[in-house]
Amino acid sequence: MPRFPKSMAAWQSEDFTRVLKDEIEAMGAGALPLDEGTAHGGFVDDADITAVPFTSVDDEHSVVADVGIFFTEIVAGCSCGDEPETVNAYCRLRIRIDRASAEAEVSVVLD
């Protein structure tokens, strides 16, 4: 389960969006469920992702942030001469961060 301790420390400050963006972009490969957000059923190359936080709200127990993620999708098996093909990809994530532990539930927002 991903953790966002720096983001929770920055909550309700003007640095929150930047800190959340930095923590997301620094996560290791496979930490986010980006495979659920692929458009072509390919593999995710999450070595270089860009996070764009949109909104964040809190309640008594958690902070919920909606974040856009740009990444690269690797599409194999198309029988093309230059296989595998890479395409720019995007999906939206909803990140629910527990205020006490900084542990997060991350889900893809399907339109």
Dihedral (Cα; 55, 57, 62, 64), 10-degree rounding:
-20
Domains identified in the chain, total number: 1
- Using 50, 70 and 90 to split pLDDT, how confident is the model at 39? confident
What's the CATH code of the domain at 27? 3.10.450
pTM: 0.89
Helix (H, G, I), strand (E, B) or coil at 1: coil
Residue 81's pLDDT is what? Answer: 64
Mean pLDDT of the chain, nearest integer:
91
Q: How high is the pLDDT of residue 79?
A: 60
> Which domain covers residue 93, as residue numbers?
5-109
